[in-house]
């Protein structure tokens, strides 16, 4: 959110876990940013961009994607980094490749361990239940034309623009 704030009029960040919101606020709140404790379903209003990182697999995918559609202005963008269940040879091969490259990327991007003054709270984790192909199917039904790409770091990205 702090990286987004200089580029947008207003940015709102949510998490259902108050500890995560407290940690975000402790790092400073830009003048045009608001952090709120709450879930996606409680968000009201319309936005030009809805983004989430490693959150969609915590939610019921279809319901969450429908909520995102309802939150976007015409022409608005959904940009999501997610995790999926490993299911089948292609997923497994991709994960094996990631297992080899992830430590290298970690060392290159974070050569020194972050020992900042603000402790990181442990965030809630859940195992993804949907495989990427299943997410692709659900996603395309809710967001026709959704772009799905495998990424490094055991992740994928979802990109969609609400028709204007
Ligand atoms: C794996 S963490 C990812 C946190 C952060 N986005 C990151 O990449 O470091 C998933 C987060 O989703 C939050 N979460 C779970 N259900 C949610 C919901 N319904 N609405 C918003 N956030 C939710 C959890 O509290 C948790 O902090």
Ligand 1: list residues with CB < 6 Å.
14-17, 20, 39-40, 53-55, 58-59, 123-125
Tell me which of 114, 123, 153, 155 to substitute to probe ligand 1's pocket, judged by most ligand atoms within 8 Å of the beta carbon. Answer: 123
Provide the sign of the torsion angle of the four alpha carbons 77, 82, 87, 88, taken in this order.
Answer: positive
So what's the pLDDT on residue 93?
95
Determine the residue of 14, 15, 110 to mutate for testing ligand 1's pocket, defined as the one with the most ligand atoms within 8 A of the Cβ atom. Answer: 15
Band (pLDDT 50/70/90 cuts) for residue 114 is low
CATH architecture of 47-161: 3-Layer(aba) Sandwich (3.40)
Mean per-residue pLDDT, 121-132: 92
Enter the DSSP assignment of 81. E
Domain spans in the chain, listed from the N-terminal domain onward: 1-38, 47-161
What is residue 143's three-state secondary structure?
coil
Q: What is the mean pLDDT of the chain?
A: 93
Residue 117, number of CB atoms within 10 A of its CB? 5
Position 111 scores a pLDDT of 80
In this prediction, residue 19 carries a pLDDT of 94
Question: Mind listing the pLDDT tens digit for each residue in 38-63?
Answer: 999 999 999 999 999 999 999 999 99
Which atom number of ligand 1 is nearest to the Cα of residue 123? Answer: 27
The closest residue, in CA terms, to atom 18 on ligand 1 is 39
Q: What pLDDT does 113 receive?
A: 66
Residue keyed to tokens 């999926």: 84
Please report the pLDDT score of residue 118 as a whole number. Answer: 62
Average pLDDT over every residue of 26-39 = 95
How would residue 124 be classed by pLDDT, with cut points 50, 70 and 90? confident
Q: How far is the CA of 70 from the centre of ligand 1 (A)?
A: 20
Per-residue pLDDT band for 110 (boundaries 50, 70, 90) equals: confident
């Amino acid at each position: 959110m702090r990286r987004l704030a200089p580029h947008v009029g207003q940015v709102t960040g949510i998490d259902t876990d108050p500890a995560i919101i407290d940690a975000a606020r402790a790092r400073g709140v830009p003048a045009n940013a608001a952090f709120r404790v709450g879930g996606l379903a409680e968000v009201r209003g319309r936005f030009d961009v809805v983004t989430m990182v490693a959150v969609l697999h915590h939610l019921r995918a279809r319901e969450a994607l429908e909520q995102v559609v309802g939150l976007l202005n015409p022409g608005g963008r959904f940009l999501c980094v997610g995790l999926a269940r490993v299911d089948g040879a292609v997923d497994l091969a991709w994960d094996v490749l990631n297992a080899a490259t992830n430590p290298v990327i970690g060392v290159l991007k974070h050569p020194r361990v972050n020992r900042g003054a603000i402790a990181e709270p442990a965030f809630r984790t859940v195992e993804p239940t949907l495989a990427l192909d299943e997410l692709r199917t659900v996603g395309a039904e809710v967001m026709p034309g959704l772009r799905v790409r495998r990424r490094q770091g055991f992740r994928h990205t979802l990109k969609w623009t609400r028709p204007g």
